Amino acid sequence: MTTLKTKRVLTDLCEGGLLPDARLAELEKVAARYAVAITPAMADLIDPADPHDPIARQFVPDLRELETSPEERGDPIGDDAHSPVEGVVHRYPDRVLLKAVNACAVYCRFCFRREMIGPGRGGLSPAALAAAVDYIRGNPQIWEVILSGGDPLILSARRVKDLVARLAAIGHVKVIRVHTRVPVVAPERISAALVRALRAQNKATFVVVHINHPRELTAQARAACARLVDAGIPILSQSVLLRGVNDDVETLGALMRALVECRIKPYYLHHADLAPGTAHLRTTIAKGQTLMRALRGRYSGLCQPAYVLDIPGGHGKSPIGPGYLRDGGEVVEDFNGRPHRYPPQQ
């Protein structure tokens, strides 16, 4: 049976069979600290009888979220250290992140901005948005603007169109990239009007969709993504490596194949960030590297994302995939780990 509304409070989860009534009281503390929202599209995918359901693991609160490890931090990738004006993160010379809104359609239990987003957090005020656009306009080295948040596609088509138009009017901005969960978790929002709003004349628009498990690519999600691609908007993916969700090669490979079949290029596989209360969802880097080797050996080159780590403290992303060269480049390993000699380089 299809649910009709986004579940935003724990009693909604109980009524929908996604959370036992007996756990309601203990999880109220989690919901008081971190936002909860599960859209109908995601709620319908959860099997309440499966205690290890990979969709539930991403969205249903867990008491372990109140356990903060010493290495975890409220701003794990150092956004604040690189924020010259409200809403802008300028970590790399040629691109900036513009956080136009501080809310999402769903709230992932592993979110690295979980201390900063949620219902009622709003977005940038008109004055703050104007200042952010002015900053971008005043820095000609900025070639790309990444719309993030929160999720920018929870905005109305009218507001998205206005935001894209403001950025498109800046001559040195050539690329507008949108990071979003919406095509997967609320595919009905990808309307013809919203697709039109994302396009800008003489600018390249890219959408990067966040998806972690192949079951998330429902027929409705595939259709929403197709509406974007058919309109000339390329889609890439970013996924987070999560314990109990996608940390086996069969699941990860199935996800990457499903993405490619939907004309979505796998882009990033993120090692989970050191956000508070997320230790139970993180794997080790060694586990991620092993999975990347297995992907390389079993699946098409189209299915290979870059395995990356956002270095804590705001130092940017670094690729952390397995290495294949040894002995100064004179030995190269194949995907099975077997060594092969390679002629010395002059």
**Domain 80-320, CATH number (from 3.40.50.720, 3.20.20.70, 3.90.79.10, 3.40.50.1450):** 3.20.20.70
| Residue 160, amino acid | V
pLDDT at 117: 85
Say whether 44 is catalytic.
Answer: no
Please tell me the distance from the alpha carbon of residue 126 to that of residue 106, in angstroms, as a whole number: 25
pLDDT at 247: 98
| Strand intervals (E) in 175-231 | 175-180, 204-210
Q: Residue 239, SS3?
A: strand
Say whether 307 is catalytic.
Answer: no
Say whether 151 is catalytic.
Answer: no
Please tell me the distance from the alpha carbon of residue 345 to that of residue 303, in angstroms, as a whole number: 31
Catalytic residue among 91, 177, 215, 282: 91
Name the one residue in this structure whose structure tokens are 């009524």: 15
Cα pseudo-dihedral 143, 193, 88, 135, rounded to 10:
60
pLDDT at 280: 97
Say whether 92 is catalytic.
Answer: yes
Say whether 303 is catalytic.
Answer: no
Please tell me the distance from the alpha carbon of residue 305 to that of residue 301, in angstroms, as a whole number: 9
Backbone angles phi, psi at 23, to 5 degrees: -95, 0
pLDDT at 125: 94
Contact, 303 vs 295, CB < 8 A?
yes
Catalytic residue among 111, 225, 262, 303: 111
122 prior amide bond cis, ω within 30: no
pLDDT at 301: 96
Say whether 317 is catalytic.
Answer: yes
pLDDT at 279: 97
Say whether 181 is catalytic.
Answer: no
Catalytic residue among 47, 92, 267, 296: 92
pLDDT per residue, tens digit, the chain (346 aa), is 344 689 999 999 998 889 888 889 889 999 999 999 999 999 999 999 999 999 999 999 999 999 999 999 999 999 999 999 999 999 999 999 999 999 999 999 999 999 888 877 778 999 999 999 999 999 999 999 999 989 999 999 999 999 999 999 999 999 999 999 999 999 999 999 999 999 999 999 999 999 999 999 999 999 999 999 999 999 999 999 999 999 999 999 999 999 999 999 999 999 999 999 999 999 999 999 999 999 998 999 999 999 999 999 899 999 999 999 988 889 999 988 899 999 887 6
Catalytic residue among 12, 151, 247, 273: 273
Catalytic residue among 8, 137, 317, 324: 317
Contact, 71 vs 274, CB < 8 A?
yes
Please tell me the distance from the alpha carbon of residue 209 to that of residue 175, in angstroms, as a whole number: 16
Say whether 114 is catalytic.
Answer: no
pLDDT at 126: 95
Catalytic residue among 79, 151, 247, 310: 310
pLDDT at 346: 67
Catalytic residue among 108, 225, 262, 303: 108
Say whether 273 is catalytic.
Answer: yes
Q: Rounded to two decimals, what is the model's pTM? A: 0.94
Parse the chain into domains and list their residue ranges.
10-66, 80-320
pLDDT at 1: 36
Catalytic residue among 8, 33, 95, 263: 95
Say whether 262 is catalytic.
Answer: no
Tell me how far CA of residue 38 lies from CA of 20, 34, 42, 151, in angstroms: 16, 13, 6, 14
